[in-house]
A and B are shown apart, each in its own frame.
Chain A
Amino acid sequence: MENIESEKPKIVYAEDDEGIARLVEFKLINKGFDVILLKSGNNVVETIIDKRPILILLDLMLPIKDGITILKELKMNEEVKNIPVIMLSVQGEEKIVVQALNLGAADYMQKPFSTTELASRIDKALA
């Protein structure tokens, strides 16, 4: 059987907190997106190259490969470097956030966050 891919715009979300990942996924699906959840930094870049999402939500502290390394790899790849990336960080990671913005991240959200605010940041990044 032929694999029919969803025509909805895709968002890749790499997050190791499963509960929060599912809540954000729920919110984004209701906004009309197709969400690809990844629990670690493993294969994030490959998935993005393969799926070509319109936006990437990237947690800074991911197991196996951290958010900054992934961001660097994305920005070095001609095919996906223009996809907007929103970084998610916890308090106390301000220096890394600055590094992420310098590397070309479109925006960042600090945890704890509000899903409403996240949704509006996504709208802004896609505008």
Chain B
Amino acid sequence: MSNDTLTVEIWRGQEEGRFDTFQVPRMASQTVLDIVTYVQRNLDPGLSYRFACRVGVCGSCAMTVNGKPRWTCRTHVDKVADEGVLRIQPLKNLPVIRDLAVDMTDFFEKWTKAKAHFVPTETRHDEFAQVSPDDAKRKEASAGIECINCGVCYSACDTVAWLGDYLGPAALNRSWTLVNDARDGGQTERLKAVAGVGGCQSCHSHQSCFELCPKHLNPTASIAGLKRATVKAALKGDI
């Protein structure tokens, strides 16, 4: 370590607020979540933040670190603290409850609006569906299903910031996995849900979502797929 302590600026308040500055001792293999935890336990118990697993599988600890949305439990301080300064803010594009905790309601409501949920066609009395893992559509679906809804892509998306209705990369990516699910029975309604105002056509392929997704998913490619699917459906008269 080149320095003993790190200067950390942390957002306090809601949309209106201020940055509080703390001096935090540096340690080996320290993550940004370690920093926030240290501040709350030793310097200011009033700091609000979220976490759960601490090991990069739940997505709860996402925050804006030096301008970029990241999982704080998987962000090593060495990688992001230029000149010994760290600036930590809540995720963008979502209302701030307090300090570093944001209200994820809009994020999940858009998941519903995008009809990004499975519509079954069979019952427990039917045989299992036979879907080959080599099937092209299944591969498309499998490429996108590991999303844990952490909100990093939504927070990074400029179109979400500019167009309040925009469903966003996570919801649209999830929808695309279901468009490719051979067992699903809600295809037409789903394509209607992802076309139109706030739909897939609003994406400008900035690819900030793809750049920043900690699970290396590709919402830009999924949304491109939705664009093709909705146009095909419109030309056929289905939407």
- A, B in one complex: no
Interface residues of B (CB under 8 A from A): none
A contacts, CB < 8 Å to B: none
